[in-house]
Structure 1
């Protein structure tokens, strides 16, 4: 079995379980689906596989999942997380016809944490640190939204603050230059697995290409190794994928979120 296949098997077996949604406030199973509700009115649909469902069964699952969330008036948006290696006949058409819109496809990257943890000093003048204080978390979240080309959304900061309050192991990292936050990312050790997740990595456009993201990634990897993790996973944009590949991670599949809003 190839290295990529071994990593993909570990990803499917260890991460596509409750470990995928540590901050959920409610989880219901519907056949092979896990229907998750997060704080802030966000629904999330995931699964290890679709249990061999044919196209009519896939359509039934989409409709039943949407009915479930429509019964909860607090849920205003839903993400259905698809993976490119799943057997899911007719899923794209069923989701689109139900009102879901496909978002940007990202690469699922998996590899050894040690490969990311090399002593990679930040560029001159750049400092790396973790955050805990509400004011700084909100500033980091707003900067990340801008880096991703979106309007700052205070609700995203609310979710991060709620997770910090639960002390579930998540760490928020930033890179600063001359007192300005210019890059950020999360580290999420996954309890009961070999994995830590590196998420939300973003650098403001005018600061890209300087090695800041790479240094921030290395700092997060060293922190995860200190917590006893050995593997890392990340859903990566086309900006971060080549950086992670150069550092030893392997693209094992793709993921495309489909979003529904009321």
Structure 2
């Protein structure tokens, strides 16, 4: 893909830093998660409730098929479904086709977008009747799961269980913000604050259909940008859907790559 470049950002330099910090040398993202590098592949076993999959690989036409088969054997022996998180700049160029041929199923692609956090910290007015709940506690995570269900129409139970485990074991790595209309969650988002990286990860942010287009999503980005700066993170990173990509581009996010989750059910 062609990078969408914004002034002051070098997309190639930032992408190299992202690959290095957030993929190849990424710390585990949850309690009990284990990351290991086996040959040219970095993978995480997230346990029964966490995320398991391939974070990074350094493959070519000769090594790719064997590496894919090894991950299927490894996670299959554990009884885990897993995700191979593929990026459009990964080698070999036909890696996505090889993953499909091995039986992995692609989900809709998303755009890896990055922005410097500091310029995004300004206040964004909220619609009348909306307030932000910013405590990261059990109630917030349950509200986030309900906001996820209302925005995306999918069950948020697994997400809720996973985040509750993080809250219990590593609360410093998690920030949660929920937009409430009265007591009803209409938008919810979280931020992943892993140590030893420059990138704070923004996740969620889906808004209930009746509240879209009124600035709530932007307000949640601004809130998390302020928190990221306070915690010493330089960049915000998003795997953006087609719906959120135009909003993020207007805010100054740079498109660096396209990421596609490839899932395998043992």
Q: Structure 1 length normalisation: TM-score?
A: 0.90
Please report how far the alpha carbon of residue 18 of structure 1 lies from its aligned counterpart in structure 2 after TM superposition.
Answer: 4.0
Q: Is the 8 A contact 1:106 1:255 kept in 2?
A: yes
Please report how far the alpha carbon of residue 153 of structure 1 lies from its aligned counterpart in structure 2 after TM superposition.
Answer: 4.0
The one-character-per-residue Cα deviations of 1:8-65 (angstroms, maximum 9, x if unpaired) are 1221222113436421522232212122111335421111x41xx3324101000011
In structure 1, C-alpha distance between the alignment counterparts of 2:103 and 2:246, rounded to whole Å: 33
Partner of 1:45: 54
Please report how far the alpha carbon of residue 136 of structure 1 lies from its aligned counterpart in structure 2 after TM superposition.
Answer: 4.1
Partner of 1:4: 11
- Match of 1:65, SS? helix
Alignment match of 2:194 (pick from 166, 190, 193): 190
Q: Is the 8 A contact 1:142 1:153 kept in 2?
A: yes
In structure 1, C-alpha distance between the alignment counterparts of 2:168 and 2:215, rounded to whole Å: 31
1:136 to 1:193, Cα distance in 2 relative to 1, 3 A: closer
Alignment match of 1:176 (pick from 151, 176, 180): 180
1:135 to 1:229, Cα distance in 2 relative to 1, 3 A: closer
In structure 2, C-alpha distance between the alignment counterparts of 1:142 and 1:261, rounded to whole Å: 26
Partner of 1:159: 162
Higher mean displacement: 211-220 or 4-13: 4-13
Higher mean displacement: 138-147 or 202-211: 138-147
Q: Is the 8 A contact 2:202 2:236 kept in 1?
A: yes
Q: Which runs of 5+ in 1 are unaligned?
A: none
In structure 2, C-alpha distance between the alignment counterparts of 1:54 and 1:29, rounded to whole Å: 17
1:130 to 1:247, Cα distance in 2 relative to 1, 3 A: same
In structure 2, C-alpha distance between the alignment counterparts of 1:39 and 1:153, rounded to whole Å: 18
- Match of 2:68, SS? helix
Please report how far the alpha carbon of residue 194 of structure 1 lies from its aligned counterpart in structure 2 after TM superposition.
Answer: 2.1
Partner of 1:57: 63
Higher mean displacement: 204-213 or 125-134: 125-134
* Number of residue pairs matched by the alignment: 256
In structure 2, C-alpha distance between the alignment counterparts of 1:228 and 1:133, rounded to whole Å: 22
Q: Structure 2 length normalisation: TM-score?
A: 0.89
Aligned residue runs from structure 1 range 214-233, under 5 A: 214-233=218-237
Alignment match of 1:122 (pick from 126, 134, 159): 126
Q: Which runs of 5+ in 2 are unaligned?
A: 1-7
